[in-house]
Chains A and B, each alone.
Chain A
Amino acid sequence: MSAASGSEHFLEHAPLDLRDWLVQFLTHWLHLTGLLQWMLHNLISIVMILAVFGLFFAFTTIAERKLLGRLQNRLGPNRTGLPKFSRLFGGWHFKHKLFGLSQPFADAIKALTKEDIVPAEADKLLHFLAPVIVVAFSLMTFAVLPFGRHFIPVEMDAALLYFFAAGSATELAIFMAGWSSRNKYSLLSAMRALAQLISYELPLILSVVPVVLVTSTLSTQNIVLAQGSWTFGVLPHWFVFTPWGCAGFLIFLVSALAESNRSPFDLPEAESELVAGHLTEYSGFKYALFFMAEYFGLTALSALGVTIFLGGWQAPCEFLQIIPSYLWFMGKLILMIVFFIWVRGTLLRLRIDQLTRLSWKFLVPLALINLVNGGFWALTTEWSGPLQIARWAISIVVIVVPFLLMGRKLSTGFAPRTYRYAP
């Protein structure tokens, strides 16, 4: 890692240099003093995150619609091109439809211009606050994610704790949305959503703890740095390639799916059962804000998964380090998102009892066992030679055997289900 600093690619620094230059320029031009300069410096970072992840959100929605379309053997949206400015250019307009890629912008305009309906009996203040809180807190989680070697908005010691603390406020917002709507479906599904979120927060956090044990740090940047070496220059030392890391990553993936209300865990919004969940009484841009927060949450959790298990911004091979680190990060993030879309297009929705059983009877015990596994790994760092093989074997056995045993017991007595009234 230290060797890289000398021969670092200038692209590694380029966006930061651009920001510093901009701050310098504006400081001279506007005669700013210390505090204002500091604010400007951070404001540029914030605007960058908002712009990049706002656009990322926009293109995630179109990618999801198009990919889901392909998975379901249809085309997906492909009709929205550029608006026709025929009046301006004397009858000429751009004819290509751009594969429908401008669809999210059309959707945004639609959501903004829609009528915003608030139920007469609703608690107006909480009804308004819920979407605001959910978006604000899901954006706050981006502050501690290292997007590149030098790209981390806020570097702090307790970064992982901050991430989960900021994420926990979404539960509150969902409760507010469900309760303030004065609609029994809203309230019922808000309770359902809370039961799901609380159940899956436990395995989510527990799956991350082994990484903290092994690296003995809570700082996301240091966790990425701990994964920055290669065997023979081609095999990366990412945590997903260790037995406990692989198990942790799988538990993390399932819990992340459930935490972001994605199919197959999209019960809170099960259209066929609960109208539209806690969003039933929301319309217009408030609805869009909830939608946005869900995608921000998904992106943030994927980014966290990339950071702690998939090596963050580290390149998969040593010689590939010439590609700037942030591009690696974004590439991995896009792969994670595409994977989530693929899962949505493939799996069926779970029942509520299956959902809670999966968490409490399977994922939580497995995550606890994996915690012990991570501890074992952390204690045996100096084993080498043949002991190294023993270390791997013990670590694999410790996690795979309980997985097989518990996986068999999981649905005994519950499945296959017999339906009394349906053939």
Chain B
Amino acid sequence: MTLLPLLIIMLLTLGSAAVAMMLRNLIHSAMLLIFSWAGIAAFFLWAGAEFVAFAQVLVYVGAVSMVVLFAVLLTRRSRADLEVSPPAWKRILLAVFPSVLVGSLLIGAVLGAFPPTTNSSPAPELTVKQIGESLMGPQTAALLAIGVLLTVALLGAIVIASPEKSEDKP
């Protein structure tokens, strides 16, 4: 495993994610976001986690992308319609606080892993069967929690996207 593929994958993933934030065209941003998700799948492949990589493609590129695209198409309004309620300083504060929190967690985790241990043990040979058994055995609670979380998120999305009754009337 050389570092060159990792660098290319990283550049493409982060680059497309960055460009996605800057584009004006929402559909183009969504497409780039999907490309970035595919890049994450490529990273999993590079790391030797086949199962996770294919699951990433199946779930994100196949399913979540559709949710995003449908959401963009069904809820798009002109810019003038958009009313941003909280004042700017409040929004900035709300953006900075969680990002600092998440960022410090991630940086702490990354720094904690340095220096990388030199006595590299051979990579464990995991079969899909073992992954399935561990998901259905010790990790069942986590799996169920994630399932409930996803369901709640989907229901919430439907509630937010569905128009109020008064708008529906001609």
Contact with B along A170-204 (1 / 0, CB 8 A): 01100110010000000000010010001001000
CB of B106 within 8 Å of the partner chain = no
Could you say which residues of chain A place their CB within 8 Å of the CB of B69? 175
> Which of B50, B55, B57, B62 is close to A156, meaning CB atoms less than 8 Å apart?
B50
Contact with B along A155-181 (1 / 0, CB 8 A): 011100110111011011001100100
- Main SS of the interface on chain A? helix
Could you say which residues of chain A place their CB within 8 Å of the CB of B154? none
Once the chains bind, are B128 and A172 in contact (CB under 8 Å)?
Answer: no
Once the chains bind, are B31 and A126 in contact (CB under 8 Å)?
Answer: yes
Given A164-B58, A165-B58, A168-B62, verify A176-B51 contact (CB < 8 Å). Answer: no
CB of A358 within 8 Å of the partner chain = no
Question: How many residues on the A side are at the interface (Cβ–Cβ under 8 A)?
Answer: 24
Once the chains bind, are B27 and A172 in contact (CB under 8 Å)?
Answer: no
CB of B169 within 8 Å of the partner chain = no
CB of A380 within 8 Å of the partner chain = no
Could you say which residues of chain B place their CB within 8 Å of the CB of A168? 57-58, 61-63
Could you say which residues of chain B place their CB within 8 Å of the CB of A158? 50-51, 54, 128
Once the chains bind, are B129 and A176 in contact (CB under 8 Å)?
Answer: no
Question: With the chains together, A304 CA to B105 CA distance in Å?
Answer: 44
CB of B99 within 8 Å of the partner chain = no
Given A172-B34, A216-B129, A218-B128, verify A161-B58 contact (CB < 8 Å). Answer: yes
Question: With the chains together, A216 CA to B51 CA distance in Å?
Answer: 15
> Which of A162, A198, A201, A217 is close to B54, meaning CB atoms less than 8 Å apart?
A162
Contact with B along A196-220 (1 / 0, CB 8 A): 0010010000000000000011100
Could you say which residues of chain A place their CB within 8 Å of the CB of B50? 156-158, 162
30 CB < 8 A contacts A-B: A123-B27, A126-B31, A156-B50, A158-B50, A158-B51, A158-B54, A161-B51, A161-B54, A161-B128, A164-B58, A164-B62, A165-B54, A165-B55, A165-B57, A165-B61, A165-B62, A168-B57, A168-B61, A168-B63, A169-B61, A171-B62, A171-B66, A172-B61, A175-B66, A175-B69, A191-B73, A198-B63, A201-B62, A217-B128, A217-B129
Question: Footprint of B on A, CB under 8 Å?
Answer: 123, 126, 156-158, 161-162, 164-166, 168-169, 171-172, 175-176, 179, 191, 194, 198, 201, 216-218
